[in-house]
Amino acid sequence: MPSPRQNGDSPSAALDAARAEADAAIEQARRAHARLRNALDILPEGIVFLDHEGRYILWNKQYAEIYKRSADLFRPGARLEDTLRVGVARGDYPDAIGREEEWLTERLALLKSPRGRHEQRLADGRCILIEECQTSDGGVIGLRVDITEMKQREESFRLLFDGNPVPMFVCDRASHTVLAVNDAAVEHYGYSRDRFMALTLGDIHADAARGDLTEILGAAIELQAGRTWKHRKADGAPIDVAIFPRRLTYQNRAATLIAAIDITERKRAEARVAFMAHHDALTALPNRVLLRLRMEEMLARLRRTGESLAVLCIDLDNFKTVNDTLGHPFGDLLLQAVADRLRAVVREPDTVARLGGDEFAILQTCVAGPDEVGALAQRVLAAIGEPFDLDGHHVCIGASIGIAVASQEIAGRDVAYSDDADANRLLKSSDMALYRAKADGRNTFRFFEA
């Protein structure tokens, strides 16, 4: 049997080889540890590794920076519980003041049984988000994120949102569910806060389908600023709102902040102004301006289709006597009563207008012939000829009517049609016929004859 010396395998040589191998493994481990340390140190989050007893194994620079008031206590083998106790005693954790043992018990329970994320306030005002999970050997890996700036932005948002006098709510961009609502919206819309939070935007949106809302809350949201929506309040009343949306992330969800300014009264005022610009204030009938517009529309139709029209200019007989005898308030009542009777004798497409004073006009459309126009004039005379009861005063008046017809086909008593026929010409012609009716004894009607 060969001896160890003969094979060159002396005990010292084997030991040297084993040492070299161990040194190489140690160097390799040292380098791996250094690489791990470098990798951890460049992370923006704080990282800590604890063993199954809650003792420090490894942590990075950001972790030490976050807990810089306690960083002098960090060393491998030190217990996290001990560093927490020292930190509580130093006042590093404001939430622990006055309930130190209770706070420590709660914190250590979270360490032993990690469940989700929680926040931690530090004495210098920072807020730290903590997320921890257990390893297979019972240890803990902990993540620390400084969310102070995010919390400050949230607080600024809350100040601007909660106390804003403009109704505001936050909606999930996908489901349109209401995620948050401010006091102004609760008060203005009339829903309780709990009820509001159970709604979707579609529940209060009166005139848009879900597809419309998806488009509105989608990619072109910035283009919707100032757009008018119609919403429903809790009592069912519709309101017009100008909306100003802004995309944001709310509670880790893609959301839209909507400011809704109620413009219902403004739109009503605008509608009233537009109405008064084209209607008589006393009778609410179309005025001369609106009558001209409708006459021009009908004349344009006449040029396209040959559809005839007639204008009846009506002047009340003996109105001045009523006005002078009973006074202007009764004169106004009489004009309103005349307006009601004129509305009652015309067809739906026809227009009754007040031109001013005691002068009215009727625009009759789709005229078949002079007899049809004459029949309308007879109905007008009969309606106005009936006595009026004005707060106990019985008043009898009459009317004189001048008629002008625009037609391509009706012959005889009409305005000869031409391409330059316009509203002014028809009104002037009917006015001339009115003077003829008055000259012929009043309470009658006359056609214009060219």
Whole-number pLDDT of residue 221 = 53
Share the mean pLDDT of the chain: 85
Q: What is the pLDDT of residues 302-359, one digit of tens each?
A: 888 888 899 999 999 989 888 888 889 999 999 999 999 999 999 989 999 999 999 9
Contact (CB, 8 A) for 314 and 427: no
Q: Return all residues near 263 (Cβ < 8 A) that are at least 6 apart.
A: 228, 240, 241, 242
* CATH number for the domain that contains residue 323: 3.30.70.270
Cα–Cα distance, 349 to 363 (Å, whole number): 9
Question: pTM for this one?
Answer: 0.56
Higher pLDDT: 11 or 246? It is: 246
217-234 tens-digit pLDDT: 554 455 566 788 889 999
Looking at residues 183-208, what average pLDDT do you find? 87
Average pLDDT over residues 395-420: 69
What pLDDT digit, counting tens, does each position of 427-444 carry? 999 999 999 999 998 899
| Residue-wise pLDDT tens digits, 264-294 | 998 888 888 888 999 999 999 999 999 999 9
pLDDT for residue 207: 64
Residue 11: inside a domain = no
Q: What is the pLDDT of residue 208?
A: 53
Domain span at residue 107 reads: 33-146
Residue 361 lies inside a defined structural domain of this protein: yes
pLDDT of residue 100 exceeding 70, the answer is: yes
Higher pLDDT, 10 or 193: 193
pLDDT for 399 equals 95
Point out the domain boundary residue: 125, 146, 167. 146
Q: pLDDT confidence of 252, banded at 50, 70, 90? A: confident
> Do the domain assignments include residue 239?
yes
Q: Are 248 and 293 within one domain? A: no
pLDDT digits (tens, 9 = 90+) for 338-354: 999 999 999 989 999 99
Q: What is the pLDDT of residue 350?
A: 94
Residue 24 within a domain: no
Are residues 118 and 159 located together in one domain of the fold? Answer: no
Same domain? 284 vs 433: yes
Domain count across the chain: 3
Q: Please determine, for residue 157, whether its predicted confidence score (pLDDT) is greater than 80.
A: no
Do 168 and 258 meet the contact criterion of CB atoms below 8 Å apart?
yes
Q: What is the mean pLDDT of residues 90-110?
A: 92
Task: Identify whether 79 is part of a domain.
Answer: yes
In this structure, are 174 and 308 located in the same domain?
A: no
Q: Which of 214, 237, 266 is the last residue of a domain?
A: 266
- Specify the higher pLDDT residue, 47 or 26: 47
User: Is residue 19, in this structure, part of any structural domain at all?
Assistant: no
Position 42 in a domain: yes
